[in-house]
Chains A and B, each alone.
Chain A
Amino acid sequence: MNAPYRARLNREPSAFRKAAVPIASVLAGSLTPLLPIVASAPVLPPFGLVILICWQILRPGLWPVWAGVPFGMIDDIISGQPVGSAVLLWSIILIALDLIEQRYIWRNYWQDWFIAAACLIFAIAGGLAINNFLVNDTRLSVLYPQMILAIFTYPLVLRLVARLDHIRLKR
């Protein structure tokens, strides 16, 4: 065979890149509370979760169902939520997404967005509910800006994740 063509035919994407890009992107999303933003209200969408959901919607079956546990743990340590809250909420979300994937196979973009929005609202409100149970009450209305921002971040992050997917599977 001709040696120069061997490099271009029958190639496989790098196994390391294939596994590392999604994990690294979710971790990078979880690190956003470390940005130098000193906010007096919760405003930043939970980027780690948004990226996790985007990967799951773009590539169903990419994550094992239990992926919410390690990612949630890391997110909890950084985000300032009581440790265990994201572990619980993200696990529930990934199980739900998996069930949705089995039940409703043919979905369009808007339905995906709706599902992601429901998941994000569940996660943000759930985080507040856990906090309110542990300490005392903050009103839900405080979270509306964050929820709206998170829902409208989804399409942008989906684009970003699709771009990352190209990088991931590049040969």
Chain B
Amino acid sequence: MAPPRKRRPGFSRKAQLQIFTGYLLAFTGAFAGLLLLALSYFDPTAFSAVRSMTAEVTAPPARLFTGMRVGVQDGWREVAAYFEAGSKNAALQREAERNRIRLIEARALKQENRELRRLLGLIKQVGRPVATARLINSTASSSRRYATLDVGSRQGVQRGQPVRAQRGLIGRVLETGPNTSRVLLLSDAENVVPVRRARDGIVAFSQGRGDGRVDLKLIDIGVNPFKVGDVMVTSGNGGIYPPNVPVAIIEKLTTDGAIGKLLANPAGTDFVIVQEMYEPELADPEASGLPPANSAPAAPLSAPRKPARAGTDAAPAAASTAPSAASSETAAPTPGEPPQ
């Protein structure tokens, strides 16, 4: 073992002072840490420049490593596919038969849906893809859930844009650098997404739990209608996230909602798509007979209705308060209806 260190290193004034200064610096440093935390509390973007610079610098090796990882994963999948090839082939063929019939039904429904939408004057604004990229790393040792994307503002990525994979939603862009950007993953506790049940449109909120799962909280308080295995998709309410992107599948019921497992596992996805921010709006208000959505400034919620106005044109006034909510309400459930 090491020899015992004396608290007082002899009579040397210099040595004594050195120890004292060390402690002073350490306590000052700890206090500085507190101050920095206060700064990040009041201004969360205070250090984004330093962070994005670090991400930029470290991106090229990370890209290389990600390429290698994906290569190894793909290779392993190819090898694994050779086992069970025969039985899998048969099962897939049966499934393809079934799917072919469903596809025809779905096509008919889609056509019908389009007709109905045209009647309503609504268009489904699907977020145009901005960029396709890979997630190169994530904050694997922190309790916050961020990931780094290898595209940035130079490729047109902007703050707030939703990020999705083929299987479902991943998160949204939080900070952008020139060639990298930070994504707030769905499982982060700060990420709240309005969702609805794909089957019947029961509205809920999804909030991350920090462990790859989400809490699904009902908006209506009452009997818990969720069942294990229900699929939740985004509702598109409030913008940002386009509607009907799969989010989670319910794994466990709780007293006030459910716990859902994310459908798109960020670790398992190869490429993700950055989409434009979704802004719900009525494309052609006249076609639906409703007044335009933003013709009059929205009245504050607490303001009382004016009786004179309500008497003359009650119906349009009532309709004009709710078109943005109604548009997504009426638009959303139709495509989610199961083909019978």
Q: State which of A31, A106, A131 has its C-beta within 8 Å of the C-beta of B143.
A: A131
**Is B46 in contact with A69, judged by CB distance below 8 angstroms?**
no
Residues of B within 8 A of A44 (CB): 140-141
Residues of B within 8 A of A137 (CB): 189
**Is A84 in contact with B51, judged by CB distance below 8 angstroms?**
no
Check if B211 is an interface residue, CB within 8 A of chain A: yes
* Min distance, Cβ B257 to any Cβ of chain A, angstroms: 15
Residues of B within 8 A of A89 (CB): 33
Q: How many residues of A contact B (CB 8 A)?
A: 62
Q: How far is the CA of A41 from the CA of B62 in the complex (A)?
A: 20
* Min distance, Cβ B104 to any Cβ of chain A, angstroms: 37
Which stretch in B35-43, B79-87, B88-96, B220-228 binds the other chain?
B35-43
Q: How far is the CA of A114 from the CA of B114 in the complex (A)?
A: 66
Residues of A within 8 A of B61 (CB): 34
**Is A79 in contact with B33, judged by CB distance below 8 angstroms?**
no
Q: How far is the CA of A82 from the CA of B1 in the complex (A)?
A: 38
Check if B254 is an interface residue, CB within 8 A of chain A: no
**Is A41 in contact with B5, judged by CB distance below 8 angstroms?**
no
**Is B40 in contact with A139, judged by CB distance below 8 angstroms?**
no
Check if B210 is an interface residue, CB within 8 A of chain A: yes
Check if A167 is an interface residue, CB within 8 A of chain B: no
Given the known interface contacts A34-B137, A37-B140, the answer about A142 and B27 at a Cβ–Cβ threshold of 8 Å is no
* Min distance, Cβ B24 to any Cβ of chain A, angstroms: 8
Residues of A within 8 A of B324 (CB): none
Interface residues of A in 25-74 (CB under 8 A from B): 31-47, 60-61, 64-66, 68-69, 72
**Is A79 in contact with B141, judged by CB distance below 8 angstroms?**
yes
**Is B144 in contact with A80, judged by CB distance below 8 angstroms?**
yes
Check if B47 is an interface residue, CB within 8 A of chain A: yes
Interface residues of B in 135-159 (CB under 8 A from A): 135-147
Q: How far is the CA of A61 from the CA of B141 in the complex (A)?
A: 27
**Is B141 in contact with A42, judged by CB distance below 8 angstroms?**
yes
Check if A134 is an interface residue, CB within 8 A of chain B: yes
Check if B125 is an interface residue, CB within 8 A of chain A: no
**Is B39 in contact with A136, judged by CB distance below 8 angstroms?**
no
**Is A102 in contact with B5, judged by CB distance below 8 angstroms?**
yes
* Min distance, Cβ B191 to any Cβ of chain A, angstroms: 10
**Is A40 in contact with B4, judged by CB distance below 8 angstroms?**
no
Q: How far is the CA of A89 from the CA of B189 in the complex (A)?
A: 22
Residues of B within 8 A of A101 (CB): 5
**Is B40 in contact with A65, judged by CB distance below 8 angstroms?**
no
Check if B337 is an interface residue, CB within 8 A of chain A: no
Residues of B within 8 A of A127 (CB): 142-143
* Min distance, Cβ A71 to any Cβ of chain B, angstroms: 10
**Is A102 in contact with B30, judged by CB distance below 8 angstroms?**
no
Q: How far is the CA of A130 from the CA of B145 in the complex (A)?
A: 14
Check if A23 is an interface residue, CB within 8 A of chain B: no
Check if B325 is an interface residue, CB within 8 A of chain A: no
* Min distance, Cβ A111 to any Cβ of chain B, angstroms: 12
**Is B187 in contact with A41, judged by CB distance below 8 angstroms?**
yes
Q: How far is the CA of A38 from the CA of B5 in the complex (A)?
A: 45
Q: How far is the CA of A105 from the CA of B38 in the complex (A)?
A: 37
Sample of 5 A–B contacts (CB below 8 Å) = A40-B265, A69-B32, A84-B39, A131-B144, A138-B209
**Which A residues have a C-beta under 8 Å from some C-beta of B?**
31-47, 60-61, 64-66, 68-69, 72, 76-89, 91-92, 94-95, 101-102, 105-107, 127-128, 130-131, 133-139, 142-143, 146
Closest CB pairs A-B (n = 4):
A84-B36, A80-B139, A88-B33, A40-B212
